[in-house]
A and B are shown apart, each in its own frame.
Chain A
Amino acid sequence: EVQLSESGGGLVQPGGSLRLSCAASGFTFSSYAMSWVRQAPGKGLEWVSDISGGGGGTYYADSVKGRFIIFRDYSKSTLYLQMNSLRAEDTAVYYCAKGGTSRAAFDFWGRGTLVTVSS
């Protein structure tokens, strides 16, 4: 059974940093692209970042480019999102989502972790 479990969210001041984690199980982690998608309170879904199965390809939304870094640890089957220079508009629930071995929709999602950026 595929399971994705996010952690690392919390309250952080503007300009601060936070690292989110997503522990994955139930599938061959290295074979699948992984993504982060966020949802601001009461708003819709916004794709944040993708990383290919092999880790060689990373992609970012313009809103986070240069501030966020996506990476993965194959030994721990864990996906990460390093978030720097956080802004109030980064406040959201952050979901990790499993992609495919090639271009694919997100077929499994974690429960999400809330990030609140406020002074």
Chain B
Amino acid sequence: DIQMTQSPFTLSASVGDRVTITCRASQSISRWLAWYQQKPGKAPKLLIYRASSLENGVPSRFSGSGSGTEFTLTISSLQPDDFAAYYCQQYNDYPWTFGQGTKVEIK
């Protein structure tokens, strides 16, 4: 199975900060990587697919980059609505696997 490792586990930041979350795959997944945002009690929401493609309706302050085994999600200017958990997911090979999640908290 492909292991997905996110860092950090928790991130404390302020409104307006630039935030970067890293996701590493245990083997190459090309660009078959997605990022999701999840708020408490809600379903996950797709932000980024194919490593860097922005899902329709997602604000442009979100961006993704990387290929192979190293990927990043960047929020260029953190907004109050962005405090949530973020998960990466590989869909290169079954079983699909998620990172353990990164919680973005208010500093």
Contacts and interface: CB of A to CB of B under 8 A. Distances in A.
A107 to B, nearest CB: 5
Interface residues on B, range: 20 to 34
Interface centre among A106, A107, A109 (most CB of B within 10 A): A106
A106 B34 contact: yes
Nearest to B55: A107
Interface residues on A, range: 20 to 34
B44 A95 contact: yes
Given A45-B87, A106-B44, A50 B94 contact: yes
A107 B49 contact: yes
B46 A106 contact: yes
A46 B101 CA distance: 11
Interface of B: 1, 32, 34, 36, 38, 42-46, 49-50, 55, 87, 89, 91, 94-101
Interface of A: 35, 37, 44-47, 50, 59-62, 95, 103-112
